[in-house]
């Protein structure tokens, strides 16, 4: 078959060759040759008398293409002898087809005859010296079987020239160089492959392996993470990349650079805020780590507590330090807000859980257990409502600012997201959790998972088994975060706290208040009036009421009073009002029994059988202890040796005003 094209502008346009950019007739011939190639059968393209002649051996294609495809199929199945026997007659009829010789060379190599393989591959190159796969195979044979790396490199370089846009060829060459221990050459080919196709995950994984073998752990970790991020599938390569990234991260954590970052950041924040920061290992806390602000705990220093059971604790501490940094930043503009909740918020939460509490009672769950359960999920969902939006800004900042912290962050975030999966998919938890709370918690946890995927490519989102509605809302939250991400102003994170809580139906369970107004000095009458309106709860140490008590106590310390005890006593007097002396004595006796083993003022979780559904702090319980005996057994009050006579006198004055 002969095809003729006029050598004119129309033909150039037809084959998308731009003469104006300097393309020559050779470029046109190359593109036309590629276009008219059918499998291994290449056309003959020549220029003659103002025409381009394309000669195609249609009879050869028609007569041999089917048989050649059978050869390829047999080779793929490992039936190399049969493939060879079918291929040899084709070569006799059409020895000019370079691919026939190339495939025969591959068959000989698979059969273990490397000498015949080389001979066939040389024949392939004689017919077409730009046969890239033949060049690649020649390099492989010399590298693997003859240990002649220098000769192999000659063929590899020619293969790269023959296929300058083929990153797979370069990637394969790099892999062979790694196998024979030529790391520098392997690195060169992998980098060339990356330049050609910067989105091929296999190349990044290979680069990670090379860099790790050369002792460059940070660079290796970077490439391993890029391999994860470039991989759209959760396939074998993805799994290997995640596993290798974890190994590299653990090695980098072992170098201890995170501790240096943590110490420097701590010192910088201490200078900036004018307050000492202490870091304490504390496995008794409920979360992985927590920041205790000095102002909230009536101390002259901030304290960060963390659990030693968590990996990469340096990241946890840096995260908590960032909470302080954001608060200080907002304070500079008088825009910091406090996340507060009180008894009215707790009641609103219990009201929303009415049907769930009925179900638990119907199932025979004791009231004390129900109370603990409600307290746990009330505090837990509020913790998520406050922290999730702020955590996104913190983690994004840490990732973009501290390269050396990334291995710590990678390990830490993976652990935290995995905990979120368990908390929202475990059958025992799901069967008991209120649906609205579970929905909100899963959305918040999905947001964390989406951030992990954004920063490190690790995709745990499918593991949440989330509904389309949950996924969509989490994506909406991430989009809103993206609007603030690059140009956040101080305290703008609180807008997301409120907005997301509104969308999840959680805004009745807390209140954001301006710190500048909140911390103004308040009179006893103001505080007692608020207590009478909202009551006092004693849940988490960061609850609204206990913050108020600490602030108020600090303001009146010079009067020699423990104002926390005063306020708890006012509550106790209100509680016991209307009770008989006998009823009060029963409660006082129960507290006395607890007192035999000691009542710690710092403890947070005391409970009484005779006052169900109530949780006491140490001072809270001591106040009830004093008041109950002052009412029921005043003559023995001195024997208790509780130093709260002044506090009780002040509390009685408030009671009289009431």
Separation between Cα atoms, residue 451 and residue 392, nearest integer Å: 7
Separation between Cα atoms, residue 653 and residue 549, nearest integer Å: 18
> What is the number of H-type helices and E-type strands within the chain?
30, 10
Q: Which residue ranges make up each domain of the chain?
A: 2-56, 257-332, 338-520, 524-657
* Residue 57: predicted pLDDT: 67
- pLDDT over 80 at 554, yes or no: no
Question: Does residue 196 contact residue 169 with C-beta atoms inside 8 Å?
Answer: no
List, for residues 248-285, the tens digit of each pLDDT value. 999 999 999 999 999 999 999 999 999 999 999 999 88
CA angle, 601 as apex, 597 and 605 as ends, to 5°?
75
Separation between Cα atoms, residue 556 and residue 317, nearest integer Å: 33
Beta-carbon neighbour count of residue 257 at 10 Å?
Answer: 18
* Residue 265: predicted pLDDT: 97
* Residue 432: predicted pLDDT: 81
Q: Which long-range contacts (CB under 8 A, 24 or more apart) does 627-631 make?
A: 627/569, 627/572, 627/573, 627/576, 627/651, 628/572, 628/576, 628/584, 628/585, 628/587, 628/588, 628/591, 629/588, 629/592, 631/576, 631/581, 631/584, 631/588
* Residue 165: predicted pLDDT: 87
Separation between Cα atoms, residue 443 and residue 472, nearest integer Å: 9
* Residue 61: predicted pLDDT: 62
List, for residues 100-150, the tens digit of each pLDDT value. 899 999 999 999 999 999 999 998 888 888 888 999 999 999 988 988 888
CA distances from 76 to 5, 82, 106, 113, 145 (A): 39, 12, 11, 18, 22
* Residue 64: predicted pLDDT: 82
* Residue 81: predicted pLDDT: 94
Q: Which of 23-32, 435-444, 584-593, 608-617 is least confident?
A: 23-32
* Residue 46: predicted pLDDT: 86
Compute CA 401 distance to the chain's CA centroid, rounded to the nearest angstrom: 16
Question: Does residue 643 contact residue 613 with C-beta atoms inside 8 Å?
Answer: no
Query: CA end-to-end span of the chain, whole Å?
Result: 110
Residue 56's pLDDT band, with cuts at 50, 70 and 90, is: low
H or E stretch covering 87:
helix 80-93
* Residue 169: predicted pLDDT: 87
* Residue 552: predicted pLDDT: 46
> What are phi and psi for residue 327, nearest 5 degrees?
-65, -45
- pLDDT over 60 at 365, yes or no: yes
* Residue 408: predicted pLDDT: 98
Which range is most confident: 8-17, 290-299, 488-497? Answer: 488-497
CA angle, 117 as apex, 70 and 119 as ends, to 5°?
115
Residue 21's pLDDT band, with cuts at 50, 70 and 90, is: low
Compute CA 463 distance to the chain's CA centroid, rounded to the nearest angstrom: 13
- pLDDT over 50 at 348, yes or no: yes
Looking at residues 541-545, what average pLDDT do you find? 46
pTM for the model: 0.70
Separation between Cα atoms, residue 296 and residue 547, nearest integer Å: 5
* Residue 536: predicted pLDDT: 40
- pLDDT over 80 at 211, yes or no: yes
Rg from Cα positions in the chain:
37
Residue that is written with structure tokens 């220093």 in the block: 301
CA distances from 280 to 177, 290, 616 (A): 50, 10, 25
Sign of CA dihedral 86, 91, 97, 99: positive
* Residue 547: predicted pLDDT: 52
């Amino acid at each position: 078959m002969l095809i003729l094209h006029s050598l004119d502008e129309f033909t150039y346009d037809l084959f998308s060759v731009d003469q104006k950019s300097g393309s020559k007739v050779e470029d046109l011939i190359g593109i036309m040759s590629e276009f008219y190639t059918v499998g291994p059968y290449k056309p003959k393209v020549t220029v003659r008398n103002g025409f381009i002649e394309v000669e195609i051996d249609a009879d050869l294609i028609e007569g041999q293409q089917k048989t050649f495809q059978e050869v390829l199929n047999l080779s793929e199945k490992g039936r190399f002898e049969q493939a060879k026997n079918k291929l040899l007659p084709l070569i006799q009829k059409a020895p000019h087809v370079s691919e026939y010789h190339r495939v025969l060379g591959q068959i000989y190599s698979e059969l273990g005859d490397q000498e015949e393989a080389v001979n066939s591959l040389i024949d392939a190159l004689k017919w077409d010296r730009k046969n890239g796969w033949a060049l690649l195979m020649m390099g492989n044979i010399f590298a693997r079987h003859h240990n002649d790396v220098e000769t192999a490199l000659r063929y590899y370089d020619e293969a790269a020239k023959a296929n300058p846009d083929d990153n797979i060829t370069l990637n394969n060459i790099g892999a062979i160089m790694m196998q024979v221990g030529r790391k520098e050459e392997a690195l060169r080919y992998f980098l060339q492959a990356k330049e050609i196709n910067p989105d091929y995950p296999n190349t990044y994984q290979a680069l990670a392996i090379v860099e790790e073998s050369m002792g460059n752990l940070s660079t290796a970790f970077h490439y391993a993470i890029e391999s994860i991020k470039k991989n759209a599938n959760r396939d074998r390569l993805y799994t290997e990349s995640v596993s290798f990234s974890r190994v590299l991260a653990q090695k980098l954590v072992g170098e201890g650079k995170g501790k240096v970052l943590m110490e420097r950041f701590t010192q910088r924040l201490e200078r900036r805020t004018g307050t000492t920061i202490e870091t304490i290992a504390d496995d008794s806390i409920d979360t992985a780590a927590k920041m205790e602000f000095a102002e909230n705990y009536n101390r002259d220093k901030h304290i960060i507590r963390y659990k030693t059971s968590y990996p990469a604790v340096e990241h946890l501490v840096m995260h908590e330090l960032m909470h302080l940094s954001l608060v200080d930043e907002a304070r500079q503009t008088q825009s910091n807000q406090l996340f507060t909740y009180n008894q009215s918020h707790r009641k609103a939460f219990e009201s929303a859980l009415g049907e769930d509490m009925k179900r638990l009672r119907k199932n025979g769950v004791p009231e004390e257990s129900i109370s603990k359960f409600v307290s746990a999920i009330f505090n837990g969902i509020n913790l998520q409502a406050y922290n999730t939006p702020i955590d996104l800004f913190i983690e994004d900042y840490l990732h973009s600012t501290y390269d050396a912290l990334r291995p710590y962050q990678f390990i830490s975030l993976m652990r935290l997201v995995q905990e979120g999966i368990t908390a929202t998919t475990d059958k025992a938890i799901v069967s008991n959790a209120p649906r609205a709370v579970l929905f909100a918690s899963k959305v918040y946890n999905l947001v964390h998972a989406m951030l992990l995927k954004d920063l490190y490519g690790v995709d745990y989102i499918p593991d949440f088994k989330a509904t389309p509605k949950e996924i969509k809302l989490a994506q909406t939250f991430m989009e809103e975060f993206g609007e603030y991400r690059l140009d956040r102003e101080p305290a703008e994170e609180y807008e997301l706290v409120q907005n997301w809580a509104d969308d999840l139906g959680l805004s009745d369970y807390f209140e954001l208040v301006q710190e500048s107004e909140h911390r103004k000095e308040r009179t006893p009458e103001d505080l007692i009036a608020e207590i009478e309106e909202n009551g006092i709860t004693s849940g988490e140490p960061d609850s609204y009421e206990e913050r108020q008590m600490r602030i108020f106590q600090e303001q009146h310390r010079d009067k020699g009073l423990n104002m926390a005890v005063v306020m708890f006593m006012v509550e106790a007097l209100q509680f016991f009002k209307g009770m008989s002396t006998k009823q009060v004595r029963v409660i006082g006796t129960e507290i006395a029994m607890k007192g035999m083993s000691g009542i710690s003022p710092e403890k947070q979780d005391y409970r009484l059988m005779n006052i169900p559904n109530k949780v006491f702090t140490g001072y809270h319980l001591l106040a009830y202890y004093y008041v109950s005996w002052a009412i029921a057994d005043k003559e023995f009050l001195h024997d208790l040796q509780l130093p709260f006579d002044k506090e009780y006198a002040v509390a009685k004055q408030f009671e009289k005003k009431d």
